[in-house]
A = this chain, B = another copy of it.
Amino acid sequence: MLPSSTVENYLKALYQAESSLEDKALVPMGQLATAVGVAPGTATTMVKALAESGLVDYEPYVGVRLSSAGTKLAALVLRRHRLIEQFLVEVMGMSWAEVHEDAEQLEHVVSDRLVERMDAMLGHPSVDPHGDPIPTADGNIAAPDYHSLLTCPLHTAVRVTRVTDQDASFLRFLEKQHLKPGHSLEVEVRDSAADSVQLRTGAGLRITIGTQAASKVLIEVS
């Protein structure tokens, strides 16, 4: 029962769906299906097979949840993915905006040997270029609870630490505005009517972004 890349993709999608969900909640089929990019019926079939193998707990018509075995496996897939991203940026000199797709492919074929080599070369990094935490080899992950630009205090110096979206054009936008992880800024105004957030970047520039975008930029008070 060696997990195919298909299986790995389902587990990874579940892992990420669960983390943006209250504890104990089940991930509904439809959500999983769209996350993986398959028709709903396909997800049902696959999930039943995963449940057979003990990787998930499945309640028909309700949803799925990773078992502990499934969680561990998913964490290892995520570890590979994020180490690869970090490697592509740090060693290969690629842009943080373009490494996601490559990592998506590579994560299913790199050997343990290679992963650990990358990890060592990078000095055992704890986060990837987007600030996402990298699980350890035994499947543990630091799960920090960041504020976002939507929830952080106003008029306070904060530092971008993580960006929870992999869309290349969004990432390029952030880069251009000096909003990559590590950069400082202050939130000046939130206007819920206008659905916008106005901020001043470290470079002193005022920019306004939508709340959707703002919620994807996580920060730490600095």
Using CB atoms and an 8 Å cutoff, list the residues of chain A in contact with chain B: 88, 91-94, 98, 101-102, 105-106, 108-111, 113-114, 117-118, 121
Cα A93 to Cα B91 in complex, Å, equals 13
Contact B111–A105 (Cβ < 8 Å): yes
**If A92-B117, A94-B117, A117-B93 touch, does A109 touch B106 (CB 8 Å cutoff)?**
yes
User: In the complex, what residue of chain B is closest to A101 when comparing beta carbons?
Assistant: B111
A-B CB contact pairs (8 Å), 24 listed: A88-B114, A91-B91, A92-B114, A92-B117, A92-B118, A92-B121, A93-B117, A94-B113, A94-B114, A94-B117, A98-B113, A101-B111, A102-B110, A102-B111, A102-B113, A102-B114, A105-B109, A105-B110, A105-B111, A106-B106, A106-B109, A106-B110, A108-B109, A109-B109
Cα A101 to Cα B93 in complex, Å, equals 25
**A30 vs chain B, min Cβ distance (A):** 29
Cα A160 to Cα B118 in complex, Å, equals 31
- The residues of B that contact A88 with a CB separation of less than 8 Å are 114
Cα A49 to Cα B92 in complex, Å, equals 38
- The residues of B that contact A93 with a CB separation of less than 8 Å are 117
- The residues of B that contact A114 with a CB separation of less than 8 Å are 88, 92, 94, 102
**A118 vs chain B, min Cβ distance (A):** 8
Cα A102 to Cα B110 in complex, Å, equals 7
**A38 vs chain B, min Cβ distance (A):** 18
- The residues of B that contact A92 with a CB separation of less than 8 Å are 114, 117-118, 121
Cα A114 to Cα B111 in complex, Å, equals 18
- The residues of B that contact A91 with a CB separation of less than 8 Å are 91
Q: Which 6 pairs of residues, A with B, have the shortest CB-CB distance? A: A105-B109, A92-B117, A102-B111, A102-B114, A109-B109, A106-B109
Q: Which of A91, A109, A110, A117 counts the most chain B CB atoms within 10 A?
A: A109
- The residues of B that contact A101 with a CB separation of less than 8 Å are 111
**A88 vs chain B, min Cβ distance (A):** 8
**A106 vs chain B, min Cβ distance (A):** 6
